[in-house]
């Protein structure tokens, strides 16, 4: 399998990380979030680590500030991409929410885009979490099966890329 870079998106709780865990049972995987460094800064600032509505608002505001200040989230993702290129890993998943950031990273890394959806996905009340479908994704994965069946189907799709 040639190396694949996949920008993964979907509302909170749709099973993105569970699917990535299924992929990691078959492939060598790197899982990167554009808010990783933002989360670290939020923890230093007193965030309790919960992704409840209040925590999500904090992360969104901090990420926006870091994007404006020096583009930290994109720099981090590109640094991870460079490390991925020289590793033996096969698939790099990159969690990015904002359509303009998805487009920028896709162009820079030649990535495919993937939206994970499910019928019972929760609405969080924040634009960025609830508007994940405001982008024309390469792949839309419906995650309505059991964890095991969805994982198998997800791995099949990855093998076909």
111-120: per-residue pLDDT in tens? 999 999 988 7
Report if residue 23 sits inside a domain. yes
Going by C-alpha positions, the residue among 124, 69, 70 that lies closest to residue 97 is 124
Residue (of 58, 73, 54, 53) closest to 130 by Cα position: 53
7 pLDDT band (50/70/90 cuts)? very high
On whether residue 94 sits in a domain, the answer given is yes
Is residue 96 assigned to a domain?
Answer: yes
Residue pLDDT, tens place only, 79-130: 999 999 999 999 999 999 999 999 999 999 999 999 999 887 665 555 565 6
What residues does 142 pair with on adjacent strands? 117
52, part of any domain: no
Q: What is the DSSP letter of 70?
A: H
Q: What is the number of domains present in the chain? A: 1
Question: Looking at the chain, how many residues does it have?
Answer: 161
Question: Per residue in 58-80, pLDDT tens?
Answer: 998 999 999 999 999 999 999 99
Domain range for 25 is 4-34+74-160
Kindly state whether residue 41 falls inside one of the protein's structural domains: no
> Could you tell me if residue 92 is inside a domain?
yes
Answer yes or no: is pLDDT of 145 > 70.
Answer: yes
What's the first-to-final CA gap in the chain, in angstroms? 9
Q: What is the CATH number of the domain that holds 126?
A: 3.40.50.300
Alpha-carbon span 158 to 144, nearest angstrom: 18
Q: Is 54 contained in some domain?
A: no
């Amino acid at each position: 399998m040639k190396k694949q870079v996949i920008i993964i998106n979907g509302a909170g709780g749709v099973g993105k990380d569970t699917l990535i865990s299924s992929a990691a049972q078959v492939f060598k995987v790197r899982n990167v979030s554009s808010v990783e460094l933002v989360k670290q800064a939020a923890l230093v600032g007193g965030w309790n680590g919960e992704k409840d509505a209040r925590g999500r608002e904090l992360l969104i505001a901090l990420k926006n500030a870091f994007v404006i200040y020096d583009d930290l989230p994109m720099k981090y993702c590109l640094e991870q991409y460079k490390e991925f290129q020289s590793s033996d890993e096969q698939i790099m998943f990159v969690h990015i929410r904002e359509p303009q950031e998805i487009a920028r990273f896709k162009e820079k890394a030649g990535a495919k885009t993937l939206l994970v959806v499910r019928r019972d996905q929760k609405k969080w009340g924040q634009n960025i979490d609830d508007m994940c479908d405001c982008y024309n994704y390469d792949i839309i994965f419906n995650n309505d099966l059991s964890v095991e069946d969805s994982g198998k189907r997800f791995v099949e799709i990855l093998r076909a890329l």
